[in-house]
Amino acid sequence: MRNFSLNQNERVKKKKDFDKVYNSGKIIFSSDSLLKLNYCVNINAEYNGVKIAAAISKKSGKAVWRNRLKRLIKESYRLNKKQLVEKASEKKIELLLIFSPYKLTERKNKKLYLKDVMSDVIELINKVADNI
């Protein structure tokens, strides 16, 4: 694993993983409630580390805006994942994370920038690191 990459092994892709996170996972909100994070901890898994995804509803905005938000969330995570990945591999657990907008919509935020999303993603990563 490279420090600043986000390869295919680090992404939640399977439907059963999404179902596991949504059905038995926990939810954390950022302090200003722009983003929410659903996460699930698997203790007995063959993969040790962190897997992430960004799930955004069509109600949030148009496709271009949703895809930009997904890219910004993944980029924010990619730049700040070191502490969380080290902690998960140290404890030998698999951590599944799904980021979603909560009060973030295209109507309220026409233009999105990395600085708008980065602080919330860092806050959520720190909260998860404290809880595991």
Residue 80 lies in a domain: yes
Domain count, the chain: 1
pLDDT of residue 85: 86
Residue 27 lies in a domain: yes
CATH at 120: 3.30.230.10
pLDDT of residue 4: 65
Quick: pLDDT tens for 34-46.
899 999 998 877 7
Amino acid 80 reads N
Query: Which residues form the domain of 46?
Result: 8-131
pTM of the full structure: 0.87
Whether the predicted pLDDT of 1 surpasses 60: no
Residue 2 lies in a domain: no
Q: How far apart are CA 87 and CA 49, in angstroms?
A: 9
Helix, coil or strand: residue 53? strand
